Structure 1
């Protein structure tokens, strides 16, 4: 089962400094049919204006993954962590028992991110934050784990949940495959470009909710950049 969710069908909000689209119910947007997908709870497509951002605010008991598509985001938190994550790179905040953080676009132009929240398997753990570059060339033609709760994904940022966040870049005409185990929930969004996934076309920033597919065959119709979440129920 693959359900295409066109970008135009997503909920969202325009706050001036922030233009947000929500693949799942979030904040003032509520759709009872889109409350999450397996343990995946939030997938926000955010455009943040220059010299603006999210002031300090708290989180707890959530794995929060930020994939930077354009520009850069500057993070500060109550643990004393501070870092700038730029396009193509990823940061993970395991909110654990509680953390306060801010996220600002201090760049001269707009910053565009995917922010993904996954429900953790572990509770009562201390909060952590980390970031890592993932050069596009290293995920050319294949999916690479960017963040993962699986010990074998040694190059990925760690997650406290039975899930992977993966990235791939494909040239027009290229095809890649990704196997899915039984009862896994997958959600795929092209950050750029259009693709076919098991024969179903997705345009840039469309979502695909996937269940009971033994494998995914993704063909790029044009140069494409992909983000995929593979999670348990």
Structure 2
């Protein structure tokens, strides 16, 4: 058992990673294997100059700031990229996987992030990018916590839906704390979430989707004697399934 008082009246910062996609000069309308390879290599090489030269001017400063924060938080992070088949006219889709780790106060924190990136090619550069199906976890429990995330990928506008974060093993005398909250897509990276005692084995929430199509993002945390797990999940809000 652990002392729940440690979690009272504290804010736990969650980093909501919006990982970046960088364009390759003179991209053709059909993405080639060479482009994917150069894109992946540039991300893993921390090539900030490549970012500066190839993103649109109005995004340069913001992109460099975000990318710098990611590699500062997880210096050993690695990107893997593959192209998906797109059924959306004039849109390409890349599936991105980001993994990394860092040591904080002697504890190893593991990052795993998966998402799809939809974009258009405008004047030979990637533009109009949208991140979808984002699911990111940062955990320091060495995978000892048996946890199941039941969060839908997409829901209808205005509909009710459930968010369930389930600890699969009986708690017995174990005390856990946690919280979950929504935030705006373009909000700041750091979100403060106040932990509360959880009387059941996880987080169980019913909520309602916005009335207009778009993307809703939820972030949360579970604090357990074995460690902490923070998570971020995007949900596509659509007007038809």
Q: TM-score, normalised by structure 1?
A: 0.26
Q: Please identify the structure whose Cα radius of gyration is greater.
A: 2
Q: TM-score, normalised by structure 2?
A: 0.26
Choose between structure 1 and 2: higher helix proportion. 2
